[in-house]
A and B are shown apart, each in its own frame.
Chain A
Amino acid sequence: METQVLIIGGGVTGTGLARDLALRGIECILVEKQDINAGASGANHGLLHSGARYIASDPAAAAECHRENRLLKQLAPHCIEDTGGLFAAVAGDDETYIADFPALCQASGIPCKALTPAEAREMEPCLSDRLIAAYAVDDAAIDPFKLSLDHMAQALRHGGRLIRFSQVVDFRIKAGRIVAVMLRNNLTGRISEVHADVVVNAAGAWAGQVADLAGIPIRMRYSKGSLLVTHHRMGRRVINRLRKASNGDILVPGGTVSILGTTSERCESPDIIYPEIQEVDHIIDEGAAMIPDLATTRYIRAYCGVRPLVSSGEDGDDRSVSRGFSLIDHADQDPGLENFITITGGKLTTFRLMAEKTADRVCRRLGICRPCRTHSDPLPQTMDARWTEPGLTPSLWVRKNDPDDMLVCECEMVSQSIVDQIVESIRHQNGEPSLNAIGLRSRIGKGPCQGTFCSQRLAAYLYDRGELTGDAGLRDLRTFLEKRWRGQQPLLWDISLAQAELLEAMHSGLFGLETVDATPQEP
């Protein structure tokens, strides 16, 4: 395959870059070793920062967040729920930090409005009665799946190409240039080759591994953050703890649920990570100090992502490392590669800016001059991403009320016709509609039944449609449940534990899925 630009990594940065290049009329291929947003882009709070979080630790990043926040609210409103946000402190929190907060916001140009504790509790009744200070800011909730899928969709319409489940395994280098990139299809094992004028490494937490294949050392630090999804929405706005960034101090609403996080734990590798039980308990205990109901509410899922941080050498708290991004043009380095660029670090809120700066650099390497359009052109909404939104499918299903359009997922009310549309969009992108691929693009498996019923209903439906054949469905079912389990395992007490017992009774006791050979045993 030949292309002008090969992008490695299908997170928000990679897909954002694909769209940016496509709008500049530059040809690109995006290669992703798993599926869209498989890394940190799919495992974060879904928080569009106002910037106030970073006013003390990184004022420049704070100001960047503020600008991007405004821009995205105008250009991609369908990916954003403009909830507004609060910063709230409770008795015992650092009073110096509280006192400095408004001035620091002002210094970074970030609007904030002081509220009395009574006003704040009227706005968000879930807040603790031990509240001592509160400010309103411009935080919002953003759906990173919709964001990436819509970016990719527009790139595809402009001639871009997407290769999923394919991993870079080698670079062929001649005279300081990458002349070919070797890809392995992780589903079939087939090896193929891409020839590109410029190669961009947007592999997020895996950027170090990718660069290493090209003989370029990048010192990465991996900081794991774990998050919890509540069974129902706990507040109207984003609620931040008004203190120095720490564990369990942000609650972000997302449709019908809320997301509580996060932690910061150094890990050795971005590959095998789990939300650990002690992290979960810590997040809940910390969160409950600000929002007492968090101690007793039901949680339906835990997940974690890895923040890719480029190490500057010295040690310290990973949260104090700059959350600004790292754009490395390897042509400028020694030893270098003249057509290799790495973009990593940063955060969801500033992904567009990261893509713009990278695309500028790509243009320079290509020797062309085309202006960026992503800060002025609205992001078109596509069908590909619609079904990830919590609460959307129930309202559509109820409105449609077609008795023949049966529900595959009764918790999140995902019907057969919606599955049909998702399958079609996956096929359209040359993908295979596995249970996991459909799960990524819908709410299936994300409701209170924890996938017990919808998994097999979906498998049966896909067999009926001829989308699954042979014994692939058994492996798929096992892999799907195993993937959901990762997010359930740390949260199994009370009703969730009873539900898990039913899940095991059916899928192991009756179906015997533990004997189906699907994946290697995990620890």
Chain B
Amino acid sequence: MSTTRPEIHCELLVIGTGMAGMAATLFAARRGIDTVQVGMTGEINFASGLLDLLGVHPVAAGQTWTNPWEGIRQLIADQPLHPYARIGIDAIQAAMAEFIDFLNDAGLPYRYEPRKNARVITPVGTLKTTYARPATMAAVDRALAENPPGLLVDFPGLKGFSARQIRAALEAQWPGLRVVRLPFPGLEGELQPERMGRRLEVPAARQQLADTIRAHLGDARIVGLPAVLGIARTPQVWADIQKAVGVPVFEIPTMLPSITGLRLRECFEQHFPQMGVKSHYQKKILAMPRRLDQSFIASVGGKSHELSVRAKAVVLASGRFFGQGLHADRHAIRETIFNLPVYQPADRSRWHRKALFHKDGHPIHHAGLAVDNRMRPADTTGRFVYPNLFAAGSILAHQDWIRQKCGCGLAIASAYAAVRAGRDWLRSGRSTQP
């Protein structure tokens, strides 16, 4: 096939720009692997920005875990096919630590206690169990224990975020909260978290907001705000506002897409080029032929073929149905890029239960790519499909990240394991030079 389109060569192609794709790219780049990343950046905007590790197991019993590692040990014992069992607890620990260290160094600080889950307040006023959360949300655990007089702030025009709603739902856990609705400096009408975040990166705007809050502070010793404290300069915005208000300030996530996902995206997009990663965002894989030397040639483009990427190995982190890594018609589920075997229920009548919040969760979430111990998609006999294709993230089978509250842990740890296996393969000499 003759083509004048540019062709670039790399060791590892990461397909996907969600949490797993970002994590795989990060781990690969830090290990000196020559990496290209391709994907549509959309899904990570819908990340909550909370790094869940394991909140619930077993799902049917709704059992929550204070120590996520104890929960993971139990999960591995109960569900040997769960990706966590494939990855192993040591690798999960190493992956989380490395990932969070990177975020802290990159100016997006996260806080966690190594052996303890944390809680954050959600926009409907429930408490969510997570592991590492943005530093701006870390004051919640202590506040829930001590119940200091607090003030919850919301803004007219920020739809789906009502301080009154949150206060009402939190009444039992944190009584005596006050609420106030304040104008947002410099913006009117309908408010988007992204615009609010960028606005507060202007020092005068955050000073004005802090002054307004201070005027309503009363006896409050802590202030809760929707997550709008900057995007790329959150630590500065947060510190300035706390200083000017005079008491600790914490963030509450907004509805999705939330600014906390956007911060992660901007952080990666800013740091990857410096790390030597060649990223092609807003691009899809249009075709993926394979050469005799086992390398993959990806046709990459927005709508039509714009460039080719020749890779010795691939990490597939293309997500589930929302991320378009999987697609379902009325009859079956398929994997969209390689047409890999997909583990799935027998037919559509078994995909979802009749109750949305059924205690057992929905069987379709366990569908996906079954992998071998080296994170390679495998067929029904357990044999890998390609020796140099690895999978990571929510596309993996035998898990339910939504109900188990393990989405980011799964993404990060499986990316770590996939990159580790990919590096082993690249270094083994079995891959010939493209």
Contact B159–A460 (Cβ < 8 Å): yes
Cross-chain contact of A406 among B62, B126, B190 (Cβ < 8 A): B190
Given contacts A482-B356, A523-B354, whether A505 and B162 have CB atoms under 8 Å apart is no
User: Are B357 and A478 neighbours in the complex by a CB distance under 8 Å?
Assistant: yes
Residues of A within 8 A of B292 (CB): none
Give the contact stretch, choosing among B90-98, B397-405, B424-432.
Answer: B397-405
CB pair B255–A456 under 8 Å, yes or no, is yes
Please provide the chain B residues from 28 to 70 with a CB less than 8 Å away from any CB of chain A in the complex: 46, 48, 50, 62
Closest residue on chain A to residue B253 by CB atoms: A510
Interface core residue of B165, B348, B355, B359 (most chain A CB under 10 Å): B165
Selected interface stretch from A21-29, A255-263, A513-521: A513-521
Residues of chain B lying within 8 A (CB to CB) of residue A461: 159, 162
A494-B190 contact in complex given A502-B256, A506-B256, C-beta closer than 8 Å: no
Asked if A516 contacts B126 (CB within 8 A), the reply is yes
Task: Establish whether residues B165 and A512, one from each chain, have CB atoms under 8 Å apart when the complex forms.
Answer: no
Inter-chain pairs besides A464-B181, A482-B355, 5 sampled, C-beta below 8 Å: A494-B327, A498-B322, A510-B50, A512-B127, A521-B359
A464 with B171, Cβ < 8 A, contacts A510-B128, A515-B62 known: no
- Contact of B124 with A by CB under 8 A: yes
- Asked if A453 and B160 make an inter-chain contact with CB atoms under 8 angstroms apart, the answer reads yes
Contact A463 B159, CB 8 Å, known A505-B402, A516-B126: no
Tell me if B168 and A403 are in contact (CB < 8 A): no
Determine the distance from Cα of A523 to Cα of B164 in the docked complex, in whole angstroms: 35
Question: A511 to B357, Cβ gap below 8 A?
Answer: no
Known interface pairs A277-B349, A406-B159, A498-B322; A482-B357 also in contact (CB < 8 Å)? yes
Give 3 nearest A-B pairs by CB, closest first. A460-B162, A485-B356, A463-B165
With a CB–CB cut-off of 8 A, which chain B residues contact A501?
Answer: 320-322
Q: Smallest CB-CB separation from B324: which chain A residue?
A: A498
* A-B residue pairs in contact (CB < 8 Å), sample of 21: A278-B349, A453-B160, A463-B168, A464-B181, A468-B165, A471-B125, A473-B125, A474-B124, A478-B357, A486-B354, A497-B321, A498-B324, A500-B352, A501-B321, A505-B322, A506-B256, A509-B401, A510-B122, A514-B357, A516-B357, A521-B355
* A457→B189 contact, CB < 8 A: no
What is the CA–CA distance of A509 and B357 in the complex, to the nearest angstrom? 11
A312 to B403, CA, bound (A): 50
Residues of B within 8 A of A515 (CB): 62, 126
Contact B407 A509 (CB under 8 A): yes
If the complex has contacts A406-B157, A510-B48, A513-B124, are A489 and B359 also in contact, measured as CB distance less than 8 A? no
| Interface: B174 (CB within 8 A) | no
Q: How far is the CA of A212 from the CA of B171 in the complex (A)?
A: 45
B143 within 8 Å of A (CB atoms): no
Question: Taking the complex as formed, is B99 at the interface, i.e. its CB lies under 8 A from any CB of chain A?
Answer: no
| A75 at the binding interface (Cβ < 8 Å) | no
Tell me whether A274 and B354 are in contact (CB under 8 A): yes
Q: A79 → chain B, closest Cβ, in Å?
A: 32
Q: Is the CB of A473 within 8 A of B128?
A: no
Q: Which of B126, B189, B324 contacts A512 (CB 8 A)?
A: B126
The contact size tier of chain B is 35 or more
The CB with the most chain B CB atoms within 10 A, among A453, A461, A501, is that of: A501
Interface string of B379-422 (1 = CB under 8 A from A): 00000000000000000000001110101000000000000000
CA A332 – CA B164 in complex, angstroms? 59
Is there an interface contact between B352 and A492, defined as CB atoms closer than 8 Å? yes
Query: Which of B56-88 touch A at CB < 8 Å?
Result: 62
Q: Does B204 contact A (CB under 8 A)?
A: no
Interface centre among B48, B127, B402 (most CB of A within 10 A): B402
A512 touching B128 by the CB < 8 A rule? Answer: yes
Tally of contacts, chain A with chain B, CB under 8 A: 159
B5 within 8 A of A: no
Partner of A477, one of B124, B161, B329, B358: B124
Name the contact of A505 in the complex, choosing from B46, B127, B355 (C-beta under 8 A). Answer: B46
**A-chain residues with CB within 8 Å of residue B405 when the two chains form the complex:** 509
CA distance A510 to B50 in the complex (A): 9
In the docked arrangement, what's the CA distance between A381 and B189, Å? 33
Residues of B within 8 A of A486 (CB): 354
- The smallest beta-carbon distance between B127 and chain A, in angstroms, is 8
- Which A435-463 residues have a C-beta within 8 angstroms of B? 453, 456-457, 459-461, 463
Do residues B356 and A470 form an inter-chain contact, with CB atoms below 8 A?
A: no
Quick check: is B224 within 8 A (CB to CB) of the other chain? no
Per-residue 0/1 for A268-285: is the Cβ within 8 Å of any B Cβ (1 yes, 0 no)?
000000101110010010
Give chain A nearest CB distance to B363 CB in angstroms.
Answer: 12
Residues of B with C-beta under 8 A to A406: 157, 159, 189-190
Is there an interface contact between B46 and A460, defined as CB atoms closer than 8 Å?
no
A408 within 8 A of B: yes
List B contacts of A470 (CB < 8 A). Answer: 168, 171
Q: Counting CB contacts under 8 A, is B287 at the interface?
A: no
Contacts A504-B402, A510-B128; is A456 near B123 (CB within 8 Å)?
Answer: yes
In the complex, chain B residues whose CB is within 8 Å of the CB of A513: 124, 126, 357
Q: Is the CB of A493 within 8 A of B348?
A: yes
Whether B239 is near chain A, meaning CB under 8 Å from some CB there, is no
Interchain CB contact under 8 A, B329 and A481 = no
Q: Give the residue among A276, A407, A466, A497 with the most B Cβ atoms within 10 A.
A: A497
Q: Is the CB of A403 within 8 A of B189?
A: yes
User: Closest residue of chain A to B52, judged by CB?
Assistant: A509
Chain A residues near B303 (CB-CB < 8 A) = none
- Whether B328 is near chain A, meaning CB under 8 Å from some CB there, is yes
A492 CA / B126 CA spacing, docked (Å): 28
For residue B268, CB closer than 8 A to chain A, the reply is: no
Identify A281's interface contact among B50, B330, B355, CB under 8 A. B330
Question: What residues on A are CB-neighbors of B112 within 8 Å?
Answer: none
Residues in A neighbouring B281, C-beta threshold 8 A: none
